Amino acid sequence: MNILIIGNGGREHAFAWKIRQSPDCDKLFVAPGNAGTASVATNVAIAVDDFKELGSFCIDQKIDLVVVGPEVPLVKGIRDYFEADKALSGILMVGPGKVGAQLEGSKDFSKQFMLRHNVPTAGAKTFFSSQSEEAQQYVNTIQPPIVLKADGLAAGKGVVIAQSVAEAKVAIREMLEEKKFGDASGKVLIEEFLNGIELSVFILTDGNDYVILPEAKDYKRIGDGDTGPNTGGMGSISPVPFASPSFMKKVEERVIKPTVDGLKKEGINYNGFIFIGLMNVGGEPYVIEYNARMGDPETQSVMMRIKGDFLELLTACAKAELKGKSLVTDPSFVSTVVMAAGGYPDHYQKGEIISGLENTDTAQVFHAGTKINDGKIITDGGRVLAVTGKGKTISEAMLNSYNSVKKISWEGAQYRKDIGKDLLDL
């Protein structure tokens, strides 16, 4: 099969690395890709939302399967574009259509969906841009911390956890009146605060059946001990000790089944990944958010734990033939440590030369913001590399990833030193 992966992050490098191992993989392309994907696939310089160019490329290269990595092309309707074009509609695709992608593209849509289908989630009220005054009044009646969420896509920055009513009011003004996140904050959800420990759960569904992928824990804050601003994710661990079989059974019964059934009942023909961001509150799962894609840097850990042919599973999903399919997982622990550019998640430099990559024999290095310049690998984004190690225990996996992390350097490189540490005593 000829395959095109869309995206340029660590997630897409991990997909490409795994798909390349399949005997069914012939030509493999990544658009636009990075220096890491170039080592297992051919990079194609087409933007993730340039559907016209992506479509022509698929026809030229006789692509059989498209795997969509990030949310932007999904929310913009890449599936709908392909389905509407006679020459493209026969190409298999993993990734939901525009309506299904609203599970991620609109927090109001996903909240109402959860409420309609009795999926446990935090209580919330939605306010429109004309209702700033009402929103200000409303926060007077609730106890902090107060969770405020911009409705639309805001590159992971649309959530504010206000520690006081005054702070909440400032954030409401910024979002609803000053449109801090543009149209994304045309609506704001004010949500109940859930106190617990977070978990990322992933399924691959063809709209009727689903396969549950290995779960992971993400480390969102930039600093050790979960301090400092939120990022796209600074590390991940899989499996997660508190995701016990009894907890995961609750997740499947109360969250996964009603979600897949709900989509079906509403006539939303969903094909692709659903990433369920959960809070474990005293042993009970609550959904924080849905994403219409896999997580990054969770995918890097998840791909390392999938045994067997992932391409076969993706193809079965895209053909709506997931029934009876299952996944064999490696019981090992996996730890992914993200190395980021100095200054990230604020302003950061690009173009630093990365050295030491050849000495990383204890881990698999997935690239994110990298590119090749004059034969050298240089930084080209905020999150630069994801270094993934495996072991029989969490501490062995951590040791393997950190031993490789220590060999890699560039000017200003930063990483968290505590990925997995909180899980050691669980």
Q: Contacting ligand GLY (CB under 6 A), which of 55, 70, 120, 233?
A: 233
Told to check if 144 binds ligand AMP by CB under 6 A, we report: no
Least distance (Å) from ligand AMP to the CB of residue 290? 9
Nearer to ligand GLY among residue 202 and residue 348 (C-beta): 202
Least distance (Å) from ligand GLY to the CB of residue 232? 6
Cβ neighbours of 147 (radius 10 Å): 19
Question: Residue 73 is encoded by which pair of tokens?
Answer: 């092309």
Nearer to ligand GLY among residue 300 and residue 360 (C-beta): 300
The Cα–Cα gap between 306 and 403 comes to 23
Q: Contacting ligand AMP (CB under 6 A), which of 93, 114, 176, 288?
A: 288
Told to check if 74 binds ligand AMP by CB under 6 A, we report: no
Size of the site for ligand AMP (CB under 6 A): 13
Q: Contacting ligand AMP (CB under 6 A), which of 25, 122, 317, 419?
A: 122
Longest dimension (CA), the chain: 61
Least distance (Å) from ligand AMP to the CB of residue 147? 4
Nearer to ligand GLY among residue 55 and residue 95 (C-beta): 95
Told to check if 159 binds ligand AMP by CB under 6 A, we report: yes
Partner whose footprint covers residue 71, from ligand GLY, ligand AMP, none (CB < 5 to 8 Å by kind): none
Size of the site for ligand GLY (CB under 6 A): 7
Partner whose footprint covers residue 122, from ligand AMP, ligand GLY, none (CB < 5 to 8 Å by kind): ligand AMP
The Cα–Cα gap between 105 and 98 comes to 9
The dihedral sign for the CA sequence 45, 363, 375, 28: negative
Cβ(304)–Cβ(390) under 8 Å?
yes
Sequential DSSP letters for 335-349: EEEEEE-TTTTSS--
Cβ(278)–Cβ(287) under 8 Å?
yes
Least distance (Å) from ligand GLY to the CB of residue 374? 32
Partner whose footprint covers residue 295, from ligand GLY, ligand AMP, none (CB < 5 to 8 Å by kind): ligand GLY
The Cα–Cα gap between 306 and 304 comes to 6
Sequential DSSP letters for 257-314: HHHHHHHHHTT----EEEEEEEEEETTEEEEEEEESS--TTHHHHHHHHEES-HHHHH
Nearer to ligand AMP among residue 58 and residue 147 (C-beta): 147
Told to check if 289 binds ligand AMP by CB under 6 A, we report: yes
The Cα–Cα gap between 369 and 387 comes to 13
Burial 78-117 (b: 16+ CB within 10 A, else e): bbbbbeebeebeebbbbbbbbbbbbbbbbbbbbbebbeeb
Nearer to ligand AMP among residue 18 and residue 217 (C-beta): 217
Partner whose footprint covers residue 3, from ligand AMP, ligand GLY, none (CB < 5 to 8 Å by kind): none
Sequential DSSP letters for 168-218: HHHHHIIIIIS-TTGGGGSEEEEEPPP-SEEEEEEEEE-SS-EEEPPPBEE
Nearer to ligand AMP among residue 288 and residue 377 (C-beta): 288
Partner whose footprint covers residue 296, from ligand AMP, ligand GLY, none (CB < 5 to 8 Å by kind): ligand GLY
Least distance (Å) from ligand AMP to the CB of residue 191? 5
The Cα–Cα gap between 201 and 259 comes to 13
Told to check if 104 binds ligand GLY by CB under 6 A, we report: no
The Cα–Cα gap between 149 and 82 comes to 32
Torsion angles phi and psi, residue 132, rounded to 5: -60, -40
Cβ(46)–Cβ(87) under 8 Å?
no
Question: Residue 149 is encoded by which pair of tokens?
Answer: 């969420």
Burial 273-311 (b: 16+ CB within 10 A, else e): bbbbbbbbeeeebbbbbbbbbbbbbbbbbbbbbbeebbb
x/- map, 177-216, ligand AMP, by CB under 6 A: --------------xxxx---x------------------
Q: Contacting ligand GLY (CB under 6 A), which of 64, 218, 352, 380?
A: 218
Nearer to ligand GLY among residue 2 and residue 230 (C-beta): 230
Q: Contacting ligand GLY (CB under 6 A), which of 70, 97, 158, 295?
A: 295
Partner whose footprint covers residue 159, from ligand GLY, ligand AMP, none (CB < 5 to 8 Å by kind): ligand AMP
Query: Cis peptide before 345, with omega less than 30 degrees from 0?
Result: yes
Which residues bind to ligand AMP, rule: CB under 6 A?
Answer: 122, 147, 159, 161, 191-194, 198, 220, 277, 288-289
Which residues bind to ligand GLY, rule: CB under 6 A?
Answer: 218, 232-233, 291, 295-296, 298
